[in-house]
């Protein structure tokens, strides 16, 4: 266990600068976007106020923080971080093979089970994703406070945290309202990472032919899982509770087989 935890820490530590850069980029981009958007809105509200007062004395325009964040511009750093972490799912292995030093050989020669290397990388990916998610969760009330500081009281409208999250499509997907949806989404994500890890190890084990094996393996897993979901929507012979049970069983089976295969490849096929 301590060996595994040390490996997890090593993986997190290796990614500390890119992680800090992603957090910094998200903070700066979202703050700047928010301030520019709010100022633009205040300018338009001022013009509208002058016009409306002259024409019909209409009420002041009020807006809330939830009105400021639906745009794609606000979500851009989140999407960029998702892309970066998706690439890192591959790089976390390949950098060890193709880095300045073939670090993978040192990892595989450690006096401990090789599966700890696999599990540590998986845990690191999960922690990095959840870490970025938590950072966004921290950022939202901070941005909301900044919004309250810069918007005059006569234009300010309060909004709940739930409304803020659901106002932005990307946040709504990443932070579902219910914990069971959150757990399911991220467990599915972890299963996908496990399948990709196993595909990478297939490629590393069999070189050129391994590319075919890797693509084939990932495709089969994806098809099998998605086909059972397709059954749900096409009014099939099976009842919904049966389809759900089958989906769960297939998801667990795919995950278990991928982990077993990954461990086996690391133990038997990848040599130093």
Positions that interact with other proteins (CB under 8 A): 5, 8-9, 12-13, 16, 64, 66-67, 127, 130-131, 133-135, 137-138, 159-163, 166-167, 175, 177-182, 184, 232, 235-241, 244
Cα separation, 168 vs 72, whole angstroms: 8
Least separation in angstroms between CB 98 and other proteins: 25
Separation of first and last alpha carbons in the chain? 24
The smaller minimum CB distance to other proteins, of residues 123 and 255, is found at 123
Specify the 3-state DSSP secondary structure of 14: helix
Q: Report the b/e string of 27-39 with b at 16+ CB within 10 A.
A: bebbeebbeebbe
Tell me the closest approach of the beta carbon of residue 4 to other proteins, in angstroms: 12
Q: Which is nearer to other proteins, 13 or 269 (CB)?
A: 13
- Give me the torsion for CA of 36, 39, 44, 46, rounded to 10°: -170
Nearer to other proteins, 12 or 91 (CB): 12
Taking a C-beta distance cutoff of 8 angstroms, is the pair 168, 76 a contact? no
Helix (H) or strand (E) holding 44: helix 16-55
Residue 68's nearest CA partner among 164, 150, 155 is 164
156 has which bridge partners?
63
Cβ closest to other proteins, residue 57 vs residue 235? 235
Q: Which is nearer to other proteins, 113 or 159 (CB)?
A: 159
Q: How far apart are CA 168 and CA 132, in angstroms?
A: 17
Cβ 33 to other proteins, closest distance in Å?
19
Least CB distance to other proteins at residue 230 (A): 14
Shortest distance, position 9 Cβ to other proteins, whole Å: 4
Residue nearer to other proteins on the CB measure, 247 or 257: 247
Q: What's the CA gap between 261 and 238, in Å, rounded?
A: 31
What is the nearest approach in angstroms of other proteins to the Cβ of residue 265?
A: 27
């Amino acid at each position: 266990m301590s060996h595994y935890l040390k490996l997890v820490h090593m993986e997190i530590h290796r990614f500390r600068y890119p992680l800090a850069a992603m957090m910094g980029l998200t903070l700066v981009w979202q703050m700047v976007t928010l301030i520019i958007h709010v100022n633009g809105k205040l300018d338009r509200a001022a013009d509208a106020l002058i016009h409306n007062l002259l024409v019909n004395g209409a009420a002041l325009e009020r807006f809330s923080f939830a009105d400021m964040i639906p745009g794609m511009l606000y979500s851009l750093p989140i999407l960029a971080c998702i892309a970066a972490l998706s690439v890192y799912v591959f790089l976390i292995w390949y950098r060890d093979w193709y880095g300045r030093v073939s670090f993978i050989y040192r990892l595989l020669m450690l006096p401990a089970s090789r599966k700890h290397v696999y599990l540590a990388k998986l845990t690191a990916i999960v922690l990095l994703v959840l870490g970025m998610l938590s950072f966004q969760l921290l950022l939202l009330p901070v941005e909301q406070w900044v919004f309250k500081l810069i918007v005059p009281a006569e234009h300010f409208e309060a909004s709940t945290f739930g409304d803020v999250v659901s106002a932005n499509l990307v946040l709504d997907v990443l932070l579902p309202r219910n914990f069971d949806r959150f757990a399911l989404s991220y467990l599915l994500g972890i299963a996908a990472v496990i399948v990709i890890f196993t595909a990478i190890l297939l490629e590393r084990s069999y070189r050129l032919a391994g590319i075919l094996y890797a693509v084939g393996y990932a495709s089969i897993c994806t098809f099998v899982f998605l086909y059972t979901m397709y059954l749900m929507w096409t009014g099939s012979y099976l009842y919904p509770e049966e389809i759900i049970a089958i989906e769960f069983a297939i998801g667990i089976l795919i995950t278990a087989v991928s982990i077993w295969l990954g461990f086996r490849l690391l133990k038997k096929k990848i040599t130093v």
